[in-house]
């Protein structure tokens, strides 16, 4: 009988805790906006060429939480500039993307959540080659779409203000001068979110 009472008490505590978490997350429905900055690595390769560079980029996102666990979002990302110099040639590579996707949340506590994102990125890549001595340059661009994903966690100071950190990944294959490049973009992003 004593064990039954202890078990009942424990179950009551767990249920109350779960209810408290659910209650705190009830306000996570509706619109939010988010802005972040991160360090992105672009691993660029083509036949006979491979190089990796890192730079600073930004991400702007607008989301709508249908439930406390599921959100749809649209975002814009600029992954920074890739630069490489060799044999008197300076190469720059810029990639930006509009993204449409979904985010799922898993609460750890009243203030902390883990999340995962997945969606489609509609990217735009620009590639420029400049000759160091003459300053003459050629530029090319290509567009396409690819799957992206992200994993992270966030901490809510209150119902409106949240900070987050996440890792992101996107693999694109632009074509310049009839040559197909592969650019694997990965990074760590820190952001701040305001929920309405």
Taking only the tens place, the pLDDT of each residue in 95-147 is 999 999 999 999 999 899 999 999 999 999 988 878 777 777 788 889 999 99
Which domains are seen in the chain, by residue range? Answer: 29-195 (2.40.160.20)
CA separation for the pair 52, 93 (Å, rounded): 11
* pTM summary value: 0.78
- Give CA–CA dist 167/38, Å, rounded: 9
Residue 14 has pLDDT above 60, yes or no: no
The mean per-residue pLDDT over the stretch 176-196 comes to 91
Phi-psi region of 3 (alpha: psi -120 to 50; beta: other; left: phi over 0): alpha
Model pLDDT for residues 152-168, shown as the tens digit of each residue: 999 999 999 999 999 99
Angstrom distance (rounded) from CA 84 to CA 128: 11
- C-alpha separations of 139 from 130, 149, 151, 153, 174 in Å: 9, 29, 34, 39, 13
């Amino acid at each position: 009988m004593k064990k039954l009472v202890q078990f009942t008490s424990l179950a009551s505590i767990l249920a109350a805790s779960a209810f408290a978490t659910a209650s705190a997350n009830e306000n996570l429905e509706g619109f939010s906006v988010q802005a972040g900055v991160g360090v992105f690595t672009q691993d660029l390769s083509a036949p006979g060429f491979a190089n990796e560079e890192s730079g600073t980029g930004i991400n702007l996102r607008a989301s709508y939480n249908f439930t406390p666990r599921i959100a749809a979002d649209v975002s814009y990302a600029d992954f920074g500039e890739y630069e490489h110099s060799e044999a008197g040639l300076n190469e720059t590579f810029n990639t930006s993307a509009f993204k449409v996707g979904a985010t799922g949340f898993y609460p750890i506590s009243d203030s902390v959540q883990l999340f995962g994102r997945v969606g489609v990125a509609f990217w735009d890549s620009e590639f420029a080659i400049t000759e160091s001595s003459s300053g003459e340059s050629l530029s090319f661009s290509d567009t396409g779409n690819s799957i992206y994903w992200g994993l992270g966690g966030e901490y809510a100071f209150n119902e409106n203000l949240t900070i987050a950190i996440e890792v992101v990944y996107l693999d694109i294959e632009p074509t310049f001068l009839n040559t197909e490049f592969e650019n694997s973009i990965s990074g760590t992003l820190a952001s701040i979110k305001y929920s309405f």
